Chains A and B, each alone.
Chain A
Amino acid sequence: MHNTQEILRQTAAFEKTVLPSGLTVLVRPMPGYGSVHAEYATRFGSIDREFTVDGKTVKLPAGVAHFLEHKMFESEDGDAFSKYAKTGANANAFTSFDQTCYIFTATRNVDESMDVLLGMVSSPYFTAETIQKEQGIIGQEIRMYDDNVDWRMLFALCDCLYEYHPIRSDIAGTVESIAEITPEMLYACTDAFYSPANMVLAVAGDTTMAQVLAACARAGLDKPRAMPAVQRVQRPEELTPFKPGCQFTMSIAKPCIGVGFKEKPLASEDRVKGEILCDLLSEVICGGMTPLYRKLYDEGLVNPGFGGEYLAVDGCCCLLFTGESEQPELVRSLLLEEIARVRREGVDEELFTLCKNQMYGEMLETLESVTGAASSLVTSHMRGTTIAESIGTLAALTKQEVDEALQTMLLEEHSATVLILPAGDGEELEGELEQDEE
């Protein structure tokens, strides 16, 4: 047992440095690996729609963080993809609800790739013309997601659960919202959120802290930088959902149902434990090992993909259960009944232990790849913790804590239901759902 703890400590080990510029650098050398994966992330995502920077208020239309991510690949001396093509690195970027991340994986010319990564984010370049061109490309991306039933379900649920929180808006925004974007708006965002103090650089694989710090020094990140005073503006939400539900049609084969539960936002000091709890709750209610899943599966009430997930960002936490079903009302009833039963009887002890085992295995799996390791470093840093601490928090979690949490979570009165029907089956039903009369 003691030996396992030591092996785990080594497996989750990494080095950390905070530079005078405020940039946090995390490095996990991985002996035996030939590639290097780097992630350069800022705590700026689609939910950051209103903030003050050095006392000045900035309000953004939906989709700015994602738009900015696309624009960061351009500079006055060419686009970053062309520069990466000279190093052989495979580069990309993504925007989530609460972060924007620029990444590359490389096996050679790592120093040169690091220079491209750190350079592209430090010298933003926006003009009205390049913004207009990007509006066309992102408009196509938005339309592609308009045909994605899972994506539509996610945002329909958030739209029902939340009245004000920006999580209800698509990460890419809408064709109309991105049409409002101006160069000034983008510069305001980079001033506020792309300062080194608001960023983290995580690198894993065939590298060393010395190599990464040398790249930071070449980019001038070893020198002190101004740290803008940024305050995010959030409007508090009631736990009662904004709408009880909604339904609409798409070109799909079978109806899709989503049941979302609005929960109290996680306090920053309890974020890791709260997320583990949410993850575990969705598993003990309708994961593959549960009696509910078995019933739904054997009776053909849902597709095999039916399951739960959680969303937890600043000011918002919710659990969402989604899947295809010919009998969505019955599935919703069975789900609510199972939640009530587990709340009443307590979580099955064996199931609880097995879920913890599963999550432990997942953490080890993530640390096995250079991409997973760097990504875990970023995610842990953003939550104010480390991978080892997360494993410790999981190990310390008790069944009693899960039982207690369930007394105030997954409550029917905090839920909303979304139905997506096959086109032609129910256009007349489009609109909001009525509240259950119970």
Chain B
Amino acid sequence: MKRANLAPGVYLNTLDAEKFNRCRVTIRFQYPARREDATAGAVLPLVLERCCADHPDMTLLSRLLEKLYGADLTVDNTVNGANRVLTVSVTGIKDRFALQGEDLTTEYADLVFGVAFRPYLVDGQFDAEGVAIEKGKLRQQLQAEVNDKRLYCVRQARRKFFGDSPAGVERDGYLAEVDAVTCEDLMAVYRRILAESTIDVTVMGADEGKVAGLLSESLAGVERCWEDPQPATFMPRQEAAHHVENMDMVQAKLCLMFTAGQCTGAEEIAACRLAMALYGGSVTSRLFLNVREKQSLCYYCASSYTSVTGSMVVDSGVEPANAKKAEAAILHELAELCSGPITDEEMEDCRRGILSSLESVEDSLSTLEGWYYSEIARGGPVSTPAQARAALEQVTKEQVREVLRRFTLSVSYLLTPEVDCHA
């Protein structure tokens, strides 16, 4: 990746995309999460995606995307520890596939900058009608959270785990606050994001010079007061808290959240990757082989970690009557890895699996871009997939144990049709 610092907190990243049929231009704004801005911040991507000054009607914008052979416009908000990332991205087929010889890549770049920097405004504010409609959509989305039981359980566990910490500020805002969001609130949040964010523009297969020019033009009218992103954070250790929520459902969901009690250094990422593969992140992991296959306690049972919050989550689908046993088995496997033997065979099986995944990062437009942005957003040095593979080759069993030993259970959240089965 070629990375150029164009202005304070503004970067242009270029990635080779020669082999792909499509190209992609992405703008990311990383800004500190604020509780008071969360709900307006959740409405904003919906309003931006709806239309922009160049294409002020939602249906006409949809038609433009289809005219560009089904180009994909995405505007979303994601969580990165105590920061949030507003992303505007356009992906579409390359010019050589255009049936009428159209200059598609130029149109993609114009569109992505139009959506990010030239929203459709009426009298200097976001269009009230569009804002009202998109608030309704956000309300529907928040109300429907319960429909996906697995995700709902994980989110409930996160809420208990992060509490009032900035890392816990809801990406999708708060239902009770949706109605009160005004066009002025949206504009204030939008302006703050433009001014304070670290801006990363990534170009894959499009004209880098053209994109750099559009970026300069777009920023010319923005008064910037860039702030460093929030550093990585972690939740302090606490006595494990157990929560049970009853719901009319068939399979119970159990989510356990652990804290490492410290931040994860860039030099430990490789050990963390291998630790997760061994514990619950692969089909050769202890959770998969022992808790699911041997003991049949869960249909799924997987672990993952987030380096910027030093946290680990294990989520599982369990028979309601087995929830207590499943939790004990999940904790037992962690303890076994921390203090019991790790065989060479399982260590190398897991290492091979991750190496293979790292080797295929460059075979997908979105995975490749996601890799580099994850590296950037984490802070510190940016590793290539090849450097990550080299680091992984060096990880020892003791380093894996050291990573896993840090994790202590903070929250257990059980979503279940039965009362008191966890007691």
On chain B, the residues within 8 Å of A11 by CB distance are 21, 97
**Is B107 at the interface (CB under 8 A from chain A)?**
no
State whether the Cβ of A217 lies closer than 8 Å to any Cβ in chain B: no
CB contact list, B86-100 vs A, under 8 A:
92-93, 96-100
Give A403 to B220 CA distance when docked, in angstroms.
50
Check if A360 sits within 8 Å of B69, measured CB to CB. yes
The interface of chain B, by Cβ under 8 A from chain A, is 18-22, 58-59, 62-63, 66-71, 92-93, 96-101, 133, 136-137, 140-141, 143-147, 149, 247-251, 283-284, 292-293, 296, 298-300, 317, 319, 349, 352-353, 355-357, 359-360, 362-365
Name which residue of chain B comes closest to A288, CB basis.
B62
Contact A360 B250 (CB under 8 A): no
| B70 near A35: Cβ-Cβ < 8 Å | no
Task: Say yes or no for A1: interface residue by CB 8 A criterion.
Answer: yes
Asked if A34 contacts B359 (CB within 8 A), the reply is: yes
By a CB distance below 8 angstroms, the chain B residues around A355 are 66
A81-B283, A297-B133 in contact; A361/B143 too (CB < 8 A)?
no
B142's closest neighbor in chain A, by CB?
A: A253
Residue of chain A at shortest CB distance from B104: A361
CA–CA, A205 and B365, complex, Å: 15
Contact of A8 (CB < 8 Å), options: B97, B143, B359: B97
Q: What count of chain A residues pass the 8 Å CB interface test? A: 69
B63 interface neighbour in A33, A85, A354, A359, Cβ under 8 Å: A354
Q: Are B360 and A35 in contact (CB under 8 A)?
A: yes
How many inter-chain contacts with C-beta < 8 Å in the A-B complex?
A: 174
- Whether B355 pairs with A250 at a CB distance below 8 angstroms is no
CB-CB < 8 A to A143: which residues of B? 250-251, 299, 319
Given the complex, which residues of A lie within 8 Å of B300, measured CB to CB? 144
Closest chain-B Cβ to A324's Cβ sits at a distance in Å of 6
21 contacts between A and B (CB under 8 A): A33-B363, A35-B360, A87-B352, A88-B352, A90-B356, A105-B360, A137-B292, A140-B251, A140-B299, A147-B251, A251-B149, A254-B143, A288-B59, A288-B62, A289-B66, A290-B59, A297-B133, A303-B137, A303-B141, A351-B63, A360-B99
Selecting from A191-199, A327-335, A364-372, the interface stretch reads: A364-372
Residue in B59, B70, B249, B283 whose beta carbon sits within 8 Å of that of A358 in the complex: B70
Given A4-B97, A4-B98, A88-B353, answer yes or no on A357-B22 (Cβ-Cβ < 8 Å).
Answer: no
Binary per-residue interface labels of chain A (286-310) against chain B in the complex, 1 for a CB within 8 Å, 0 otherwise? 0011110010011010011000000
Closest chain A CB from B115 CB (angstroms): 16
- Known contacts A89-B356, A133-B296, A300-B140; 18 additional CB pairs below 8 A are A85-B352, A105-B356, A107-B360, A140-B319, A205-B363, A251-B146, A251-B149, A289-B59, A289-B66, A297-B133, A300-B136, A354-B66, A360-B69, A360-B70, A361-B68, A364-B69, A365-B21, A368-B20
Instruction: Tell me whether B143 and A358 are in contact (CB under 8 A).
Output: no
CB atoms of A7 and B96 under 8 A apart:
yes
Whole-angstrom CA separation of A247 from B146 in the bound complex: 20
Residue from B22, B100, B145, B283 in contact with A364 in the complex, judged by beta carbons closer than 8 Å: B22
Most buried by A among B149, B250, B296: B250
Nearest-CB distance from A189 to chain B (Å)? 24
Provide the residues of chain B in CB contact with A108, threshold 8 Å.
355-356, 359
Would you give the shortest CB distance from B94 to chain A, in whole angstroms? 9
**Chain B neighbourhood of A246, CB < 8 A:** none
- Decide: A361 and B71 in contact? CB cutoff 8 A: yes
Q: Does A76 make an interface contact (CB < 8 A)? A: no
Q: Which of B70, B248, B363 meets A251, CB within 8 Å?
A: B248
User: B247 — which chain A residues lie within 8 A by C-beta?
Assistant: 251
Q: How far is B358's CA from A106's CA once the two chains are assembled, in angstroms?
A: 11
Complex interface: chain B residues within 8 A of A357 (CB): 66-70
Q: Which residues of A contact B296 (CB under 8 A)?
A: 133, 136-137, 140
Closest to B95 in A: A4
Q: Mark A19-34, 1 if CB is under 8 A from B, else 0.
A: 0000000000011111
